[in-house]
């Protein structure tokens, strides 16, 4: 009985830990995407052949590849 309760509580803690970890990652990604939108305005002279949306897409693609390898 005690073993069953300990195994259940350990798996419950793992589920909660995984959930909090994924929430942390989601918050970090959303903040980075927001920053990418602000940075894209400043990078327009670095990418003269790209428009604003293209620069944001490039930055967001790099962000998603970094966080979700």
pLDDT higher than 80, residue 34? yes
Mean pLDDT along residues 23-42:
96
Task: Enumerate the H helices of 1-69 as residue ranges.
Answer: 2-42, 52-67
pLDDT of residue 1: 53
> What integer pLDDT is reported at residue 20 of this predicted model?
96
Query: pTM for the complete prediction?
Result: 0.77
Query: Quick check: 58 pLDDT over 90?
Result: yes
Residue closest to 66 by CA, chosen among 34, 31, 29 = 29
Percent of the chain scoring above 70 in pLDDT: 86
Higher pLDDT, 53 or 11: 53
């Amino acid at each position: 009985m005690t073993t069953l309760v300990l195994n259940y509580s350990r798996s419950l803690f793992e589920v909660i830990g995984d959930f909090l970890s994924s929430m942390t990652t989601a918050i970090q990604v959303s903040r980075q995407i927001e920053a990418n939108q602000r940075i894209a305005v400043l990078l327009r002279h670095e990418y003269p052949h790209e428009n604003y949306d293209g620069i944001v897409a490039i930055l967001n693609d790099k962000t998603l590849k970094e966080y979700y390898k």
